[in-house]
């Protein structure tokens, strides 16, 4: 898997992006979530951020990305295909991957789409809980061209409580604010 690349570093810097926050190099395992997932540009910006972080971070992507000629490239870049079209205990399979490795970091976009969403797909949360790994929240701030890295968050096992922490964090990131943030924060009563 390609982690560090002078080309990715250069493209990241030339396009004006910067990292903000501490890179969690001390953690042997984590589940990284990225929001908002708003444009196709998220992927190349994410590759640049990963290279600048100099951290072996795999990613989960819809299986259609891995079909055809680009499939090998996505795998080489650290991708794992996910079939979202059927109920195949994906959470359990991913937890098994975490449990089989001494060190493993993977990123996904819990919004599941670039479109507006009313709620997050919760699989990420249950992966983190069942694999006993912290969640690293990363916010794409397109307004200021910053990749915000939050300190590790250890989920409590109660999504209804923890979704407020997650929504609070992403509400603080300038730019695209999808409906799920407002919806989750409205549940705080």
CA distance 12 to 142: 13
Residue 15 confidence class, pLDDT cut points 50, 70, 90: very high
Do 48 and 124 contact (CB within 8 A), yes or no? no
Question: In this structure, how many other beta carbons lie within 10 angstroms of the beta carbon of residue 167?
Answer: 21
Please report the pLDDT score of residue 86 as a whole number: 66
The pTM (predicted TM-score) of the whole model is: 0.91
Please report the pLDDT score of residue 82 as a whole number: 79
Q: To the nearest 10°, the Cα dihedral for 162, 166, 172, 178?
A: -120
Least confident of 21-25, 35-39, 129-133: 35-39
Instruction: Report, as an integer, the average pLDDT of 122-151.
Output: 97
- Residue 104 phi/psi, 5-degree rounding, is -165, 130
Please report the pLDDT score of residue 189 as a whole number: 63
Residue range 29-66, pLDDT digits in tens: 999 999 998 888 888 999 999 999 999 999 987 788 88
Sheet holding 29-35, edge to edge: 18-20, 146-149, 135-141, 29-35, 104-108, 57-62, 79-82
CA distance 32 to 36: 13
Residue 124 confidence class, pLDDT cut points 50, 70, 90: very high
Please report the pLDDT score of residue 84 as a whole number: 66
């Amino acid at each position: 898997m390609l982690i560090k690349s002078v080309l990715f570093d250069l493209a990241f810097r030339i396009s004006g992006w910067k990292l903000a926050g501490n890179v969690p190099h001390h953690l042997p395992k984590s589940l990284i979530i990225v929001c908002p997932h708003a444009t196709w540009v998220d992927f190349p910006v994410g590759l640049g951020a990963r290279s600048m972080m100099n951290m072996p971070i795999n990613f989960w992507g819809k299986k259609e990305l891995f079909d055809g000629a680009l499939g090998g490239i996505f795998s080489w870049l650290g991708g794992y295909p996910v079939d979202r079209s059927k109920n195949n205990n994906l959470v359990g399979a991913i937890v098994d991957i975490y449990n089989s490795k001494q060190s493993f970091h993977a990123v996904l976009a819990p919004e599941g789409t670039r479109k507006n969403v009313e709620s997050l797909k919760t699989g990420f949360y249950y992966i983190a809980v069942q694999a006993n790994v912290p969640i690293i929240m990363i916010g794409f701030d397109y307004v200021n061209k910053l990749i915000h890295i939050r300190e590790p968050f250890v989920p409590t096992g109660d999504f209804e409580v923890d979704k407020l922490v997650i929504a609070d964090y992403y509400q603080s990131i300038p730019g695209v604010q999808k409906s799920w943030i407002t919806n989750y924060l409205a549940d705080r009563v």
